[in-house]
Structure 1
Amino acid sequence: MTVAQTRHFTRAAELTGVSQPSMSKQIRVLENSLGTPLFVRNRGAIELTSAGEALLPHAERIIIDVEAAEESVREVAGLRRGRVRLGATPSLCDGVLPEVLTAFHRRHPGVDLEVHESGSRLLMRDLARGRLDLALNIVSAGTEHEDIVTTELLTEQLVLVGPPHHDLAAEVPVRDLRDVPLVMARDGYDLRERTNAACRQAGFEPRVAVEGGEMSSVLRFVEAGLGHAIVPQMVVATRPQLTVARLSPRLTRTVGISHRPEEAMSLAARAFRDELVSQLG
């Protein structure tokens, strides 16, 4: 390109920082591979042949495309662009995730964030199939997948919530929930499984008032007086109208961030993983 623009080998070599013999050799190699000369070499002047004229616009487009590709890579490497497909359970979407998303978006406004809400088992399945980059999920037996790395972030306490102005003791034994109508998340969510397990361990099946809701629906149903619910303590922070009680025995669950091996992760996914670990770990 530079030779075609300057019509001079020595000047082109100086502009590109390549020695004149090396540049001449590169052009001869190109002409040999194409099977035709690209330049007419006259003393003191260089002209393009008809083949050279035909090649020139293609060479210009290639240079533009290469420069655009290099800039795209630099943007991604600098996290000016990118995409993170994040999966999270409903309670985590309602609790810890908004603040993390806000902090990450403030640092990397050019990175697109996609949030997929589902239960932990489905999230881990989609992560293993490559449909997600990260999964913010509840760590429990049966959710492990080969080649998936999980880092535990925090252990959160589960509490009992009741309707506004309900007379609720500071601590409620799980066995006392035997005849209490409960609002339950839909089947397949870890919170429903944890509630069922706690009730069965206390010797009874839970009495279900409403089932099938996401976390926000569960809390709204409780606010409406349809029943009580066992939920993570963090989700009630913005709902002071609900009554809250500790459970005995104490119920907890562990939150983790899962992803494929480090070498399979994009730079944007690694950055978001690090943001989660920094804020929650």
Structure 2
Amino acid sequence: MTLLQLAYFVALADVRNFTRAAERCGVAQPTLSRQIQALEAELGAALVERGRSGARGELALTPAGEAVLPAARRMLADSEDARTAVAELIGLRSGRVRVGATPSLCLGLLADVLRLFHEQHPEIHLELSENGSQLLVRDLLRGELDVALVIVPPSGLDPALSIKPLLRERLSVASARADSTPNRRGSMTLAELSRHELVMFRQGYDLREVTLRAYRDAGLSPKFAVEGGEMDAVLRLVENDTGVAVVPDLVFAGRPRLRRTTLLPPLYRTVALAQRADVATTHAALAFHDMLLSYVRTMPAIGSVDADVTVLHRQ
């Protein structure tokens, strides 16, 4: 007895006609008939009443056929479940996930998630794209990324994307801490900040846009020490006392050479998980998606830097 024979028999039971059953299965009628006969020979009983038909010319099943039919359906369903389980398992052993994130999120959040995901799924190939939110959205829409951690701008993101807000994070002023005292938290107004020279991120960084927008809204003009840096370069320049920068609270973790000063009134940004709304998620990408959400739901408090981070996704 083979699954193919059972599939032919179920098709015949559904349509009650050899010709239509053969068409449904995509085989010639003699082929289907031979396989049904072989199944009957193995079971030792006829499954179809070949000498008579119903009122509409449909074949009837024998009592043996009626008894076998439910078992045949279950066996085929179990076989499909097995194929699905194996396909998912293979997908998590040999898949690929293309992840994008802003540089600050790579430092403050994604590094731990990628480590945990690699430990659980070492055969999945991880590709990381580090860029500003605008370029990450572009790459998502082009199909060059599977998922991305992006910053939601005031105008919202492209409607072609599926968006899941994850965190609300405060932005603070980073400056050099030249002495050995603990990293104390102070505060300053935007007018006070405008008296300092900024180390400014390059075009395309949401941190650049939010900082300059805050200056414009307050009727202030920024002064720049250096423009055009990536996250690592900006933080290093701040540590060397070249200027100050507006950065997310999570960036201060593990950087004892930075002093954090909060802004009054405070500035916040919303971090979201984005992916194409019209593209089916692969098994590997879905596994990464689930791990990221699980990590965010259980994020430890970052008390060492007194970070102001609110988890938006708890379910």
Q: What's the offset of the Cα at 1:263?
A: 5.8
C-alpha change, 1:73 and 1:250, in structure 2 (3 Å) is same
Q: Which moved more, 1:85-94 or 1:140-149?
A: 140-149
Partner of 1:204: 220
Structure 1 residue 191 and structure 2 residue 207: aligned?
Answer: yes
Structure 1 residue 139 and structure 2 residue 155: aligned?
Answer: no
Q: SS of the counterpart of 1:151?
A: strand
Structure 1 residue 104 and structure 2 residue 113: aligned?
Answer: no
Q: What's the offset of the Cα at 1:147?
A: 2.5
C-alpha change, 1:18 and 1:194, in structure 2 (3 Å) is closer
Q: CA RMSD in A?
A: 2.9
Verify the 8 A CA contact 2:149 2:273 in the aligned structure 1.
Answer: yes
Separation in 2, partners of 1:148, 1:134: 10
Partner of 2:141: 128
Verify the 8 A CA contact 1:84 1:113 in the aligned structure 2.
Answer: yes
C-alpha change, 1:115 and 1:130, in structure 2 (3 Å) is same
- Which amino acid in 2 is paired with 1:134? V
Residues 178-203 of structure 1 deviation map (CA, whole Å, 9 limit, x = unaligned)? 22100011012100001111122222
Verify the 8 A CA contact 2:160 2:278 in the aligned structure 1.
Answer: no
Verify the 8 A CA contact 2:200 2:228 in the aligned structure 1.
Answer: yes
Structure 1 residue 76 and structure 2 residue 90: aligned?
Answer: yes
Q: What's the offset of the Cα at 1:76?
A: 3.0
Gap regions ≥5 residues in structure 2:
9-21, 32-82, 297-312
Partner of 2:253: 237
Percent of pairs with identical residues: 44
Partner of 1:117: 130
Separation in 1, partners of 2:85, 2:261: 55
Q: SS of the counterpart of 1:132?
A: coil
Verify the 8 A CA contact 2:101 2:136 in the aligned structure 1.
Answer: yes
Partner of 2:234: 218
Separation in 1, partners of 2:291, 2:270: 18
Q: What's the offset of the Cα at 1:70?
A: 9.4
Separation in 2, partners of 1:188, 1:176: 26
- Which amino acid in 2 is paired with 1:226? T
Separation in 2, partners of 1:257, 1:100: 13
Q: SS of the counterpart of 2:93?
A: coil
How many residue pairs align between the two structures?
226
Verify the 8 A CA contact 1:76 1:267 in the aligned structure 2.
Answer: no
Verify the 8 A CA contact 1:94 1:215 in the aligned structure 2.
Answer: no
Partner of 2:161: 148
Q: What's the offset of the Cα at 1:243?
A: 1.1
Q: What's the offset of the Cα at 1:241?
A: 1.5
Q: What's the offset of the Cα at 1:276?
A: 1.4
Q: SS of the counterpart of 1:80?
A: helix
Verify the 8 A CA contact 1:222 1:229 in the aligned structure 2.
Answer: yes
Task: Tell me the TM-score normalized by structure 2.
Answer: 0.65
Structure 1 residue 271 and structure 2 residue 287: aligned?
Answer: yes
C-alpha change, 1:226 and 1:158, in structure 2 (3 Å) is same
Verify the 8 A CA contact 2:198 2:223 in the aligned structure 1.
Answer: yes
Q: SS of the counterpart of 2:284?
A: helix
Residue correspondence of structure 1 range 27-66 to structure 2 within 5 A: none
Q: What's the offset of the Cα at 1:73?
A: 3.3
Q: What's the offset of the Cα at 1:135?
A: 1.1
